[in-house]
Amino acid sequence: MAHPAFIGRPTPAVMVALIAAQAFCALFFITDVLTDLGEVGGKPTTHLLIEAMAAATLVVAIFLETRLMLDLFARKARLEDSLKEASRAVFEVIEAHFDGWALSPAERDVATFLVKGLSISEIAELRGNKEGTIKAHLNAIYRKSGTRNRAELMSAVIDTLIDSGLEAEGSSAPHTP
């Protein structure tokens, strides 16, 4: 049975271990080629040339794999930073809506859970309230936001996010006369 680390996408630790194993093999083959070369009096044979080419290919592969792995780590870090920045921007837009709607702290809490997609019963359980209390908060949130239901509320928030994204795209695009 295959080891779980080798199923699907290998972890960075597995990749480093594989590269280390390849480096050990390359060192072994290079040492073997040099030893065999000394034994034949410095005159390479076809077998030694093939072994040397295989060892050199392995070394090149190790360098390429290492470079690719480092590039992937850097890309992952950039993507994680972008995700954090996007999450922060979404949070700011949602908070701006809550501020504009003048939601009370309890309403903000309920609205946050609503935006996260929780049901009324889940919100009630998390807040330690009865469902009727959550429904009352939701009615106040809908009234203050000028919406009638969860879908309209989410649409108002998403429309702002989309409009903000389009404005940001338009401001970075070159202006044509």
d(CA 132, CA 113): 16
What CATH architecture does domain 101-177 belong to?
A: Orthogonal Bundle (1.10)
Q: Which two tokens stand for residue 50?
A: 């093939």
Q: What pLDDT score was predicted for residue 170?
A: 60
Q: For the chain, percent helix, then strand, then coil, each to nearest 5?
A: 80, 0, 20
Residue 108 sits at the vertex; the CA angle it makes with 141 and 124, to the nearest 5 degrees, is 85
Q: What pLDDT score was predicted for residue 104?
A: 95
Q: Which two tokens stand for residue 97?
A: 């809506």
Q: What pLDDT score was predicted for residue 7?
A: 62
Sign of CA dihedral 96, 84, 113, 128: negative
22: three-class secondary structure by DSSP: helix
Query: Distances from the Cα of 165 to the Cαs of 89, 117, 157, in angstroms?
Result: 10, 22, 13
d(CA 155, CA 134): 21
To which residue do tokens 């989309």 refer?
162
Using CB atoms within 10 A of its CB, is residue 18 exposed (0-12), middle (13-18) or buried (19+)?
middle
Residue ranges of the domains in the chain?
9-81, 101-177
Q: What pLDDT score was predicted for residue 176?
A: 44
Q: Profile the chain (177 residues) by mean pLDDT over runs of 10 residues.
A: 60 89 94 88 86 94 94 94 91 91 95 93 95 96 94 89 68 46
| pTM beyond cutoff 0.75 | no
